[in-house]
Amino acid sequence: MTLRFIDWIWHVKGRLALAPGQTSDDAFTRLAPLFRQTGTSYERLKDRLTFQKKDQAAQDRMSIFDSGTLRIENGPHGSELHYRLVSRALLFCFLAAPLFLSFAGATIVIGQLQRPSVEAEKKPEKKDVVLPQNPIDKALGAPAPEKPKKDDKKKDEGPSPTPAYVFAGIFAVLYVVGRILEARLVKRLFQNSLRAT
Amino acid sequence: MEGVRVGNRMIGTQSPVTVGWENLPRVEGGPIKRHFFTWFQPAALFALIAFWYYAPNSIATASTAIGIGIGFKALLLALEWVNPRHDSWRLTWKELVIDLFYVGLGFTILRMIDGYIGDGVMIEAIQGVFHWEKFAWFMGLPLLMQAFLISFIFDFGQYWMHRGMHNWYPLWLTHAPHHYITQLNINKGAVGNPVELFLIGLGVGGFFDFLPRAALIAGTLGLAVSTYQHINVRFNTPRWWRFLFNTTEHHSVHHSQDYEASRSNYSGTWIIIDRMFGTCVDGEAELLGMEGGRKMSIRETMTYPFTEGWKSVNARLGRRPIDPIAVPAE
């Protein structure tokens, strides 16, 4: 099965025009500091640079990417930098949403399985007792203490799937934000590096 | 590196650690900004305590506490953006996703497992055989005293569990992944192996649920004090606060790449417990983590205690030499 229809999920592609007269040698020299990071190895062959990252630090400005290729090609308007970057973080975030949906499903199933046993365990209610309150708290106006009510209805329903749904939603939103934001950030990073004096 | 002598120990010989409050930077900027970041912490703490003290019984519930907790953490995330302690700790998209993944596990699958085998089950079993009449004296104490005792007793247990994790190899294996974080942000407290999160969650805090208001005020101490362990915000924390309570500064020392520094400041809320037992180091560090700041992946975080434990068992049985990375913290 070919992955080319879905690899946009974890691949970031783009291109940048080099300054007029800028050689590939000069471009890669300017970009090289980005790859001199802990956990990063890179190889340069003529007009192509490939890199790999492992356990990259959070402070690495390209920490979201795990590998990639940068090429200098001659286009109709001069030389261009073409890049194709691979991000496991984007893929992970994309998959986190269905993962949390599956947690929600599991929560519902487990809740249904345990419901009969919970009902069977219902205990007779104890008599209400008056709880003591310190005179200082009474004088300061704190509400009188009440015995905590056991929320039997909630217990009967079992664990709630709501948090799992919320996190699935959070990761779906984060994926969209990250896919757009990180593509722009890396393009700006390359642009600034190429133009740095 | 020379390091600084603190008691019998040399702190900062392997990685930079600033020792002593007088050597730490202050909040920079205009008077409003400095005023805000000087008074925010005590104002928030006292406002939250007052809220829980006077809130009607219908509002003083666990669900309200969860809502306030989420809102407060969102506010602190915004403060990280406005006034970061270190630029190198700035929250990136990737760090946010990873942190929220662990937070999400805590709210979903781990909470479900905890409901079956965690402290909730043990506490319910103990409460079932307990004679509440014998606890009437505790319920008759002033509310704030009850809250303080609940918080302090809980933190005392956490202190020894945490110190145990830094001193006993099997427990260290569960805690080590948390020490691979290289920066402090609001949700970093949730980052770690689920076994550790389960162990650190074990405590007597839930035992006091029959005193809902006192337990909620105690919980607020956790929210409005303990949360600052992991945060990238520069505050001018008052002297009395940093004497009593754990701070970002203390916890950054605990997460330092310096081995001796990492063996300090174990408490979650009450740093005075560390002062009592001679493990407190007042100061701060920016370079955090293990193995020179190597980032641990989520996969490795999940498997680390088991893979390293397996390697250690094999080494003990003479099958394979031990991996030097797996040497316990003490």
**pLDDT score, position B281:** 97
Is pLDDT of B245 > 90? yes
**pLDDT score, position B260:** 95
Lookup result for tokens 């990761």: A171
- Range of the structural domain that residue A47 is part of: 7-89+185-195
Cβ distance B213 to A174 less than 8 Å, yes or no, reads no
Residue A113 included in any domain = no
Residue A61 included in any domain = yes
User: Measuring CA to CA, which residue among B30, B39, B20, B31 is closest to residue B235?
Assistant: B39
User: Measuring CA to CA, which residue among B173, B164, B217, B189 is closest to residue B55?
Assistant: B217
φ and ψ of B290, to 5 deg: -125, 165
Residue A111 included in any domain = no
Residue A14 included in any domain = yes
User: Beta A40-45 vs A48-53: how paired, if at all?
Assistant: antiparallel
Query: pLDDT tens digits, residue range A117-167?
Result: 555 555 555 556 677 889 999 999 999 888 766 554 555 566 889 999 999
**pLDDT score, position B127:** 63
Q: Which two tokens stand for residue A22?
A: 């800028």
Given B56, B101, B141, which is nearest A96 (Cβ)? B101
CA B30 to chain centre: 31
Domain count, chain B: 1
Cβ distance B93 to A178 less than 8 Å, yes or no, reads yes
Lowest mean per-residue pLDDT among A3-17, B107-121, B272-286: B107-121
> Model confidence at A169, in pLDDT bands (50, 70, 90)?
very high
A28, A191 in Cβ contact below 8 A?
Answer: no
Query: pLDDT tens digits, residue range B162-203?
Result: 999 999 999 999 999 999 999 999 999 999 999 887 777 665
Q: Which residue has the higher pLDDT, B136 or B40?
A: B40
Chain B touched by A177 (CB under 8 Å): yes
Q: At what angle do helices B31-54 and B143-165 cross, to 10 degrees?
A: 110
A175, A90 in Cβ contact below 8 A?
Answer: yes
Segment A46-57 shows an average pLDDT of 92
Q: Which of A55, A56, A113, A176 to mutate to test the interface with B (most CBs of B within 10 A)?
A: A55
C-alpha to C-alpha distance for A56 and A62, rounded to whole angstroms: 9
Which chain B residues have a beta carbon less than 8 Å from that of A89? Answer: 94, 97-98
Domain count, chain A: 1
Does ipTM surpass 0.85 in this model? Answer: yes
Query: pLDDT tens digits, residue range B106-140?
Result: 899 888 887 777 666 666 666 666 666 667 788 88
Nearest CA-CA distance, residue B266 and chain A, Å: 24
Count A/B contacts: CB-CB distance under 8 Å.
Answer: 115
Chain B touched by A163 (CB under 8 Å): yes
C-alpha to C-alpha distance for B70 and B100, rounded to whole angstroms: 12
Cβ distance B104 to A145 less than 8 Å, yes or no, reads no
Residue A124 included in any domain = no
Strands (E), chain A: 11-17, 40-45, 48-53, 67-75, 78-86
Query: pLDDT tens digits, residue range A70-108?
Result: 999 987 888 999 999 999 999 999 999 999 999 999 999
C-alpha to C-alpha distance for A78 and A76, rounded to whole angstroms: 6
CATH classification of the domain holding A37:
3.30.310.80
- Range of the structural domain that residue B22 is part of: 4-326
Average pLDDT, chain B: 89
Chain B touched by A150 (CB under 8 Å): no
Lowest mean per-residue pLDDT among A48-52, B47-51, B58-62: B58-62
Q: Judged by CB atoms within 8 Å, which residues 223-252 of B form the interface with A?
A: none
Q: Distances in Å between the alpha carbon of B295 and those of A22, A44, B279?
A: 36, 25, 27
Given B53, B108, B143, which is nearest A167 (Cβ)? B108
Q: Which of B54, B86, B94 to mutate to test the interface with A (most CBs of A within 10 A)?
A: B94
> Model confidence at B62, in pLDDT bands (50, 70, 90)?
confident
Percent of chain B clearing pLDDT 90 (strictly above):
72
Residue A99 included in any domain = no
**pLDDT score, position B318:** 81
